[in-house]
Structure 1
Amino acid sequence: MADFLPSRSVLSVCFPGCVLTSGEAEQQRKSKEIDKCLSREKTYVKRLVKILLLGAGESGKSTFLKQMRIIHGQDFDQRAREEFRPTIYSNVIKGMRVLVDAREKLHIPWGDNSNQVNGDKMMAFDTRSPSASQGMVETQVFLQYLPAIRALWADSGIQNAYDRRREFQLVRDLVFLHCCYFILMTFTGS
């Protein structure tokens, strides 16, 4: 009578879930789970927008991406902010050096002649130091220059030079303005 029973291979075709061993059933469950995951990923990738940003150095490619992240509600966590801090400090110092230099080259007088000392201090900043050359300025170094930066940013001569920034290259000028505002507000407690 056992000869009349269908073979295991025939039963597995007609009733695939009934004749599986526990190992085979587990493998089939995992396979279905993987297929669902691949399907979800495929849908996600289809909806994903990819952009290739081309441009010269210092043209704002990274800044654009950071602004898009903020605009679309993915703000930076505290760790990311801490990582950006040395770069922001470096940009502020470099930007202020460019403004002091441009003020002189454009023959713009100081609003307050005592700011010549602050301007000299900014121009004496060693941009070839290992950390500064990599675009990183530590907090303690930046704090030494903060009073000079505040005084210079408030000077009408520097503001006049900033207004004429189309006549010289101010690295990331829009970012510089925002960084100055951020830094000054952070350290003044406003």
Structure 2
Amino acid sequence: MGTAASAKKRPPSPEAMKRNTQIEKELALSRVMETKTIKLLLLGGPESGKSTIAKQMKILHLNGFSEYDLLHYRHLIHSNIITAFRQLISAIECLKIDATENQKMMISNFVQISDRSKNCEISQELVFLAKALLPTSCFLEALQRRSEFELLDSAKYFFDDLDRITELSYVPTSQDILRSRAVTLGIHEVEFNYKNYIFRFYDA
């Protein structure tokens, strides 16, 4: 009974050996990097401060924000202001706070214009109405009773600096950005190096 001769195993080519060595080096480096990587998952309810922590890490360890980031936060802050005004307007109605006919007319105009605004852009017309409404008796009373309804926690901060924030040349400061609020959709990652370690913050 005959036996089949087994084929001799060919030695790997120099190219294959080089590629294998490179892969092993990359795997070893990856294992080392993994031991030096600290992952932190930030969890919490709305306005619990987790996104603020991620932004603080970016300011402290990643040289702040790019021009693109600043433009994004400019729009977001203007959107926050419109949202806060709409919350106050709803509160005036729900809490049955007295408003003069002139105040009611300005409120109606603000609602109509903000409804038409694209991407919550704050037009100069809205800025004019916002500045006119803030010192009115109905808005001041609503602000005094803000514990009775939902109001953006940064509303007073933005209202106190409304002139600066609504300038055409406005560029958000780090403090403005930390005060801004947005609904977290998906998972956002901030990564930076600190004392030979890689920190990864996940904002979910």
Provide the TM-score with structure 2 as the length reference: 0.58
State the 1:178 CA deviation. 3.5
CA distance in 1: counterparts of 2:31 and 2:166, whole angstroms = 50
Aligned equivalent of 1:68, options 48, 53, 56: 53
The answer to whether the aligner puts 1:137 opposite 2:137 as a matched pair is no
- 1:169 is paired with a residue whose SS is coil
CA distance in 1: counterparts of 2:114 and 2:132, whole angstroms = 20
Which residue in 2 is equivalent to 1:17? none
**Contact 1:95/1:176 (<8 A) preserved:** yes
- Amino acid of the structure 2 residue aligned with 1:50: L
**Contact 2:97/2:142 (<8 A) preserved:** yes
- 1:122 is paired with a residue whose SS is helix
Which residue in 1 is equivalent to 2:189? none
Moved more, 113-122 or 94-103: 113-122
Give structure 1 stretches of 5+ with no counterpart.
Answer: 1-8, 13-19
- Amino acid of the structure 2 residue aligned with 1:96: F
- 1:50 is paired with a residue whose SS is strand
Higher relative strand content: 2
Q: Deviations over 1:103-124 (max 9, x none)?
A: 34434455x9754442231233
Change (3 A) 1:107 1:24: closer
Higher relative helix content: 1
Aligned equivalent of 2:156, options 156, 172, 177: 177
CA distance in 2: counterparts of 1:44 and 1:125, whole angstroms = 53
Q: Deviations over 1:113-170 (max 9, x none)?
A: 754442231233453x594xxxx2235xx32200111222233531321121121222
CA distance in 2: counterparts of 1:44 and 1:151, whole angstroms = 55
Aligned equivalent of 1:121, options 102, 109, 128: 109
State the 1:99 CA deviation. 1.1
- Amino acid of the structure 1 residue aligned with 2:34: K
Give structure 2 stretches of 5+ with no counterpart.
Answer: 1-8, 171-204
Aligned equivalent of 1:101, options 90, 98, 119: 90
CA distance in 2: counterparts of 1:114 and 1:52, whole angstroms = 45
Moved more, 74-83 or 112-121: 112-121
Change (3 A) 1:181 1:39: farther
Provide the TM-score with structure 1 as the length reference: 0.61
Structure with the greater alpha carbon radius of gyration: 1
Q: Percent identity?
A: 16
- Amino acid of the structure 2 residue aligned with 1:69: A
Change (3 A) 1:148 1:130: closer
Count of aligned pairs? 156
Which residue in 2 is equivalent to 1:34? 26
CA distance in 2: counterparts of 1:87 and 1:70, whole angstroms = 14
RMSD, aligned α-carbons: 3.5
**Contact 1:122/1:145 (<8 A) preserved:** yes
- 1:48 is paired with a residue whose SS is strand
- 2:69 is paired with a residue whose SS is helix
